[in-house]
Amino acid sequence: MSSLQGKVVLITGCLGTLGRSAIRMFLDRGAVLFACDLIPLEDYPEIVRLADQYGEDRFVFRQADMTSEDQVIAVIAEIKAHFGKLHGTYHNVYSSVWKPALLLSLQEWEDTLRGTLTSTFLVCKYALPLLIESGGGSIVNTSSILGQIPQAGCLDYAAAKAGMNQLTRVLAADYAHCGIRANVLVPGDFKPDEILANQSERDKDMMRSCTRLGRSGRADEINEVAAFLLSDSASYVTGALYTVDGGFHL
């Protein structure tokens, strides 16, 4: 179990499946969280309860758009003003339109690149100075196995995630001398616990047929790797792609 005691971590896309699980896990492990999403916090009462339980010394939420340069700049400025430092980022924002090339409009293509790849660039670019000022830190960007293994119908999403992979590795090369580690988390299929508990036999059979471990993953199984990468236990890990897909790529 990786400790995040005292680590100030920015989680983007925090109200998605991975984000909500990460909030619970990271707080349990001692992290101080600044969390952002486009969705209002009130839509998730269990996260509202955590915000009330921990207070703003440990958990701050702001509704913000990570595709907006001005809003990303404002988020990083608030982290500095509120906590004075930043030790890690866990970026989970993306968008997608599942269409083949002949059906995909230029606007849909650009929206996916902006929501997925540009948002990654903006968060990394503006978090870097505060990470460096804080003595170094860890960047973790959530990609997808579809950024490595082609699957029909996801041209925009796959291209954006593949771009994220290389962007992260180049960041690792550029800023290692500043104490920055940058790694990519590469999940396969994963679902919230409540959906896994009610999966149909048809869905289970499909996952048995396409993953070596024969099932979908849980969000906490993905976040165990994210917590490791954000922690000091991963102090010699940078520029890596960590695949957590139940053997789908095999």
Identify whether 157 is a catalytic site residue: yes
Interaxial angle between packed helices 119-133 and 69-83, expressed in degrees from 0 to 180 and rounded to the nearest 10? 30
pLDDT in the model for residue 44: 96
For the chain, the domains span 8-243
Determine the Cα–Cα distance for residues 11 and 33; give it in Å rounded to an integer: 7
pLDDT at residue 166 greater than cutoff 80: yes
Residues whose CB falls within 8 Å of the CB of residue 80, separated by 6 or more in sequence, listed in order: 86, 130
The pLDDT confidence band at residue 178, using thresholds 50, 70 and 90, is very high
Residue 17 near residue 92 (C-beta atoms within 8 A): no
pLDDT at residue 104 greater than cutoff 90: yes
pLDDT in the model for residue 130: 98
pLDDT in the model for residue 133: 98
Strands of 119-247, DSSP E: 137-142, 180-187, 190-191, 217-218, 241-244
Catalytic residue among 44, 94, 157, 175: 157
Determine the Cα–Cα distance for residues 18 and 218; give it in Å rounded to an integer: 9
Q: Which two tokens stand for residue 185?
A: 């988390």
pLDDT at residue 1 greater than cutoff 90: no
DSSP 207-237: HHHH-TT-SPEEHHHHHHHHHHHHSGGGTT-
What number does CATH give the domain 8-243? 3.40.50.720
pTM above 0.85, yes or no: yes
Closest CA to 224 of 185, 197, 179: 185
pLDDT digits (tens, 9 = 90+) for 25-73: 999 999 999 999 999 999 999 999 999 999 999 999 999 999 999 999 9
pLDDT at residue 241 greater than cutoff 80: yes
* More confident call, 190 vs 85: 85
Give Cα separations from 165 to 29, 147, 169 (angstroms): 27, 8, 6
Helix (H) or strand (E) run with residue 191 in it:
strand 190-191
At 86 the three-state DSSP class reads coil
Residue with tokens 């903006």: 122
Give Cα separations from 160 to 9, 114, 117, 244 (angstroms): 24, 9, 5, 19
pLDDT at residue 153 greater than cutoff 90: no
Beta bridge partners of 58: none
Q: Which two tokens stand for residue 67?
A: 């595709």
pLDDT in the model for residue 201: 83
